Structure 1
Amino acid sequence: MTEQAQRRPGPLRTLGLVAAVSLVAAGAATGTARAADEPLPVTITGEDRVDLSLGSGNGDPTEPQVDLRLDVPGEEHEGDGDIPAVFNGEYTIRIDATALEGVASVDLPCDVDGLVATCTGGELYAGQQYNRLGGIRLDIDDDSEAGDSGSIEVTGAGEGLEFTPLTVDVLVGGPEFVNRKLSLPEDYRAGETYKAPLGLRNAGDMPAEGAVLRFHGSRGVFFPDSYGNCAYSEVTTGPLLYQGTDVVCVFPDGIAAGAAYTTAEPLKVNTADFALRDIFTYSFTAVAPDEAAGLLAAKDYRRGNGADLALKQVSDADPADYARYAELDLPTTNTYDLELTGASLDAAAGETVTAEIGFRNNGPAWISALRSGGESFSFTVQAPDGATVTKVPQKCREITLPDGGGKGYRCFVSTPLLEDAEFTYPFELRVDRVVENARGRVALPESHDPAESDLENNSAWIVLNGPDGQTDGGTGQNGGGTPSASPSPSSSSGPGQGGTSGSGTGGTSGGGVQGGLASTGAGGTVLIGGAALLALGLGAGATVLLRRRAPRTGGAVA
């Protein structure tokens, strides 16, 4: 069976109610746009080429090299709750690897009979996130020899569906490219240009007919040059995790076995003023000349209009300077400033008032959280003495505060978080009895991230019937309630964690990959694949105010 979408009841975690309804409506519109007699187009996706090494290993033996999914037209669902299907009906996917007999060993998903597997399903969802078939693992065996090749054919069938098949080409002992390692100058700052010395070494047993260079920069990274043998795709909308620039460059000349090459000039990598722990990564792979034209003409990519980027061979390359992956987090020196603001209210016994708790990022940096995949962090709220919380924002839940702090509330903030994000969390309080200068503490967990520039504004107070209306700043000695550490990823994250960029009530400017808030869970050290997800959905219970900066200049030119 295919790995279908998880359907979980409960509140939407990452989209406001309005946004969620809009997505459902958009999905419905997509479904009704097709004529009843037109089949639904479904594209089988996955890696279309696997090169197996005879000597240097083929990665983690438990990890597949091919991740098979079905891509279905429509807006992909983001958030929790029921995921609407765009198709209901039986379909079958056939994975035929018989051409690899004597070439390589194959581990297939679903129901396997020899070198053929069959996957079945009954529902399809928009996009491909929730339409995963499974992974294909390939390894060399005793019969594998340099130059052996074959392919895997993946086809589909189902009434009312039209499948675009996938062919996965496999080559044993062919060209094997490793990439020159990168290192960032210690004094590199946001807004500056890093000149990246890109290079490759063919550690394989055979020459390559040509090479392809792919490089990527996350939202705070852009590339000022426009090379004629490169094509550029810049994503500036949708989930922040996936925003950024992707570039593919083609080099048609042969790459000799055992030889090393470098680009004729360093690649200029610029960062925006808000960049912090953004990701730049690149890799070279082998390509045949007949594949090159198609890469540069790919959908959503624009061809560069400058001179070509060239490769030149180097004779003194040290194999220790090359690795399978080459990437950097840049810059690491920028700062952000999270600030909480409380509220000062006067009320008599029996009255109900609303405390507007404020949260904002004063920048200048965003919190990318790219390497943790957009994990949430949190802050705690305690009601003043004599008052009862009668209504809480959607992104908050009741907890027991540690160290005898009593009942309180934990409120969640999704990442990535924009450099100018600003939210309001309205708590409705009923005054049961009047206590002069009653105070309830609002606090972020203790931060050990050197990128946070001001820790003094990480706590504030809700004050009822106070003498002076002062609510913000300092940890104070009254009001109690020690902030607790943020939840683990399993308790705060899930499908669609984070959101999309944009503005308006019920959305957020935050949502994404390493970095920030080391003690709150918004940081991390493991790179996610691909990757981009954020908008903190506060729903009708919270007001979200977003201020987006003017678009940066100098991005990739096409």
Structure 2
Amino acid sequence: MPIAPHNRRASRAAVAVLGAAGLLALGAAPAAYGDEPAPELVVGGIKALDGVKPGSSFDLPVTVANKSTVAAEKVWVSYYVTRGLDFAEVPSNCWVQHVRPYDEMPERWTAACGFDQVVEPGVVYTPEKLLRVTTLDRALNEELRVRVADVEPGVDDNGTTPVTGTAPAVKLVEGQAGSAGTTGVVTVPVTAVNTADYQVTGAALKGSVGDTVTMKATFTNAGPAWVQPRQGDKSVQVIITPPAGTSVVKRGQFCRAEGRTYFCGMRSLYEGSGETYTFELKIDKRVSGAKGSVALSTEARPFDPDKDNDKADITLDVTGGESAGPTDSPTPGSDSSAGGSSSTGGNETTPNGGYLAETGSSTLPLTGAAAAAVITGAATLLIVRRRRNQGAS
């Protein structure tokens, strides 16, 4: 979730100073320093929003209060919104910064507004004109955070140069009693009415027995919304099963193997983003009607109503070689990038509700020449034993 921007260079410098002279500073501090009262600012009025529509706007009904016994000489109210939201008209007593994603934090916009006025204890204030937020076309699972403090928040090193607002400056005015908050920071979800179309594509392969062919399967979020998973959401996976009669020489990036099935992740769920999974497959034998698949995992995605493009075929046209027939078990693939091959018998499901292709049993029955060799060996042993018994008698 978004956090308050901070000046990491300044933080590192402060740590260095404290590290060099911390003990001296602590020893020289007056005993009563920690007992001095300080303002205790809280923010309220912010509630979760559900059902907002792309292209619409809404106001932020923020309240500020001082729970301490001393006045605050100046107050800063900071707003943070994820990339599906934006600020409409920003007052000139505020600055805005666009912050790129880092450390698992999503891309976001920050607006920090300074109110150069005294905030008295026990009084609830609100901006005379509320900050307005616009819902963008890509909005879906958004987040809003509001924070109040008596010092200016630092500028984030990963953000753009802050820009001062151009709308008329606003000030705090006394609001209704009883609407004060209880904490200095509030984070709430903002959910838009929108969709995101997850799509996969398969491949059409062709080659001769013994050839190594390149297979490319893709995942795309066709939008219009980007998707920010919320706490508790299961991660979507792309499940790739190569055609029977092939073995995997090299797997695609972000893919892990479970038998002959591969579970693949993606780097981004931004609108218009995608991932290409490139596999190298060796054609071991010709299997009539061999067909693999690319499919999305089966967790619930209510924002993605179009299920027709959630699965695609991987076809294989093999020239030359004797056909093994459609009922033959696929050959377990040797994946050099995985350090060997693995197979499981029968149809299985993974813990996350995915599915594994039938790979055949790793234990094979004795048939044909192998069975004859066993019978011949047993007969020879019986003759030798009889001759030994006759000689002894």
Query: Is the structural similarity TM-score above 0.5?
Result: yes
Query: Deviation of residue 260 (structure 1)?
Result: 0.6
Aligned pair 1:268/2:132, yes or no?
yes
C-alpha deviation, 1:240, in angstroms:
8.9
Conserved? CA contact 1:444–1:483, under 8 Å: no
Cα 1:484–1:204 shift into 2, 3 Å: farther
Counterpart of 1:386 in structure 2 is: 245
SS of equivalent to 2:299: coil
Q: Which residue of 2 aligns with 1:141?
A: none
Structure-2 change in CA distance of 1:185 and 1:299 (3 Å): closer
| Aligned residue type for 2:225 | A
Q: Are 2:177 and 1:316 equivalent residues in the alignment?
A: yes
Distance 1:371-1:101 versus aligned 2 partners, 3 A rule? farther
Structure 2 residue aligned with 1:421: 273
Deviation at 1:102, TM superposition (A): 3.8
Task: Answer yes or no: is 1:335 the counterpart of 2:195.
Answer: yes
User: Are positions 1:45 and 2:17 aligned together?
Assistant: no
How far does residue 255 in structure 1 lie from its aligned partner after superposition? 0.6
Contact 2:100 2:107 in 1 (8 A): yes
Alignment of 1:368 onto 2:228 = yes
Percent of aligned pairs sharing the same letter: 25
Structure 1 residue 345: Cα displacement: 2.2
Contact 1:44 1:69 in 2 (8 A): no
Matched, 1:357 2:217: yes
1:195 aligned to 2:59?
A: yes
**Selected match of 1:280 from 107, 122, 144:** 144
**What is the alpha-carbon distance in structure 2 between the residues aligned to residue 207 and residue 312 of structure 1?**
15
Q: Shift of the alpha carbon at 1:94?
A: 4.7
Letter in 2 for 1:278: E
Structure 1 residues 79-136: Cα deviation after superposition (integer angstroms, max 9, x where no partner) = xxxxxxxxxxxxx6553433556458xxxxxxxxxxxxxxxxxxxxxxxxxxxxxxxx
Q: Secondary structure at the match of 1:98?
A: helix
Matched residues in 1 for 2:283 and 2:199: separation?
Answer: 27
**Structure number with higher helix proportion:** 2
Match of 2:385 in 1: none
Q: Is the CA contact (8 Å cut-off) linking 2:234 and 2:299 kept in structure 1? A: no
Aligned partners of 2:348, 2:207: CA distance in 1, in Å? 26
Match of 1:256 in 2: 120
Q: 1:453-487: CA deviations, max 9, x gaps?
A: 22343232222239xxxxxxxxxxx998666456x
Hey, what does 1:86 align to over in structure 2?
none
Residue from 95, 101, 113 that aligns with 1:231 = 95
CA distance in 2, matches of 1:207, 1:341: 62
Pairing 1:399–2:258 present: yes
The residue type paired with residue 170 of structure 2 is L
- Name the SS for the 1:308 alignment partner: coil
Deviation at 1:376, TM superposition (A): 6.4
What is the CA-CA distance between 1:183 and the residue it aligns to?
Answer: 2.4
For 1:238 and 1:184, locate their aligned partners in 2 and report how far apart those are by CA, in whole Å: 25
2:285 corresponds in structure 1 to 433
C-alpha separation in 2, matches of 1:454 and 1:94: 63
Match of 1:247, SS state, is strand
CA distance in 1, matches of 2:294, 2:93: 54
Alpha-carbon shift at residue 190 of structure 1 (Å): 2.3
C-alpha contact 2:52 2:135 (8 A) present in aligned 1: no
8 Å Cα contact 2:293/2:314 also seen in 1: yes
Q: Using a 3 Å threshold, how does the CA distance of structure 1 residues 427 and 177 change in structure 2: closer, same or farther?
A: same
- 3-state DSSP class of the match of 1:361? strand
2:325 is the alignment partner of 1:325 = no
Following superposition of structure 1 onto structure 2, how do residues 447-462 of structure 1 map, counting pairs within 5 Å? 447-462=299-314
What are the within-5 Å matches in structure 2 for residues 520-531 of structure 1?
A: none
* 3-state SS of 1:338 partner: strand
- Do 2:266 and 2:274's aligned partners in 1 also have CA atoms closer than 8 Å? no
The alpha carbon displacement at 1:254 in A equals: 0.6
CA RMSD of aligned residues (A): 3.6
For the pair 1:95 / 2:22, whether they are aligned, the reply is: yes
- Shift of the 241–483 alpha-carbon distance from structure 1 to 2, 3 Å rule, reads farther
Cα distance in 1 between the residues matched to 2:56 and 2:103:
25
Q: Distance in 1 between matches of 2:136 and 2:72?
A: 37
Q: 1:120-159 CA distances to partner (integer Å, 9 max, x unpaired)?
A: xxxxxxxxxxxxxxxxxxxxxxxx63xx2xxxxxxxxxxx
Partner amino acid for 2:98?
E
Tell me if 1:306 matches 2:233: no
Q: TM-score, normalised by structure 1?
A: 0.50
- Which letter maps to 1:351? D
Query: 1:482/1:465 Cα in 2 relative to 1: closer, same or farther (>3 Å)?
Result: farther
* Letter matched to residue 383 of structure 1: P
Distance 1:427 1:299, change over 3 A: closer
The answer as to whether partners of 2:199 and 2:222 remain within 8 angstroms in 1 is: yes
Identify unmatched segments of 5+ residues in structure 2.
Answer: 1-7, 319-328, 331-345, 355-393
**TM-score between the two structures when normalised by the length of structure 2:** 0.69
Q: 1:198 and 1:69 mapped to 2: Cα distance?
A: 37
Instruction: Decide whether the 8 Å contact of 1:215 with 1:247 is kept in 2.
Output: yes
Q: CA deviation at 1:414?
A: 2.3
Q: Is the 8 A contact 1:193 1:270 kept in 2?
A: yes
SS of structure 2 residue aligned to 1:306: coil
- The SS at the match of 1:95 is helix
Provide the rounded CA distance (Å) in 1 between the counterparts of 2:16 and 2:134: 34
Q: CA deviation at 1:387?
A: 0.8
SS at match of 1:413: coil
Secondary structure (helix, strand or coil) at the match of 2:301 reads coil
CA distance in structure 1 between the partners assigned to 2:297 and 2:12 by the alignment: 41
Cα separation, 2, equivalents of 1:202 and 1:347: 75
SS in 1 for 2:120: coil
Contact 2:63 2:179 in 1 (8 A): no
| Cα separation, partners in 2 of 1:371 and 1:185, compared to 1, 3 Å | closer
> Are the counterparts in 2 of residues 278 and 331 from structure 1 also a CA contact under 8 Å?
yes
1:249 CA drift (Å): 1.2
SS in 1 for 2:258: strand
Report the Cα offset of residue 208 of structure 1. 0.8
Deviation at 1:343, TM superposition (A): 1.4
Return the letter of the residue paired with 1:325.
Answer: V
For the 8 Å contact 2:253–2:278, the answer to whether it is kept is no
Distance in structure 1 (CA, Å) of the matches to 2:317 and 2:279:
16
